[in-house]
Amino acid sequence: MLTPLETIKKKRAEAISRIIGKGYLSTKRVYVGMATCEIAAGSKGVMEVFSQAIKKGLADVYLSQKGCAGRCNLEPTVEVIEEGKIPVKYCKVTPQMAVDIIERHLKKGEIIKEWIIK
């Protein structure tokens, strides 16, 4: 039987493991618009590209959904936030564009200026 202090230490270690496992401490964050209108515009396919890349080893990236931004004419949208940098919002993202965002922006640090919301 664990002492109260040992129980607390065990719970803390489990919580830290979950935080790290979910990517909450990553220096790069990717938010894919997944409101109803964005899903209708094709964001599920975009989200799947990012999800698969992370499963295949894309490191230090936290992936999540975001809600409606009120910019239906620009959907699907993807926001990339990197520690110490200004957030970048891409618009009208297709699954192929998502692949390019992964390769060029997330891996090489290149902002794809022609795709960003101005």
Distance CA 75, CA 37 (A): 8
Q: Tell me the domains of the chain and their CATH numbers.
A: 23-115 (3.40.30.10)
How many residues can be counted in the chain? 118
Distance CA 56, CA 103 (A): 13
Encoded tokens for 101: 């965002």
Q: Which residues contact 26 (CB under 8 A, 6 or more apart)?
A: 60, 61, 62
Distance CA 97, CA 77 (A): 11
Residue of 80, 81, 76 whose CA lies nearest to 91:
76
Distance CA 81, CA 105 (A): 11
Tokens 């230090």 correspond to 60
Contact 40, 34 (CB under 8 A): no
How does pLDDT run along the chain (118 residues), one tens digit per residue?
Answer: 899 999 999 999 999 888 877 778 899 999 999 999 999 999 999 999 999 999 999 999 999 999 988 888 999 999 999 989 999 999 999 999 999 999 999 999 999 999 999 7
3-state secondary structure of 88: strand
Q: Give the pLDDT score at 19.
A: 84
Q: Give the pLDDT score at 110.
A: 97
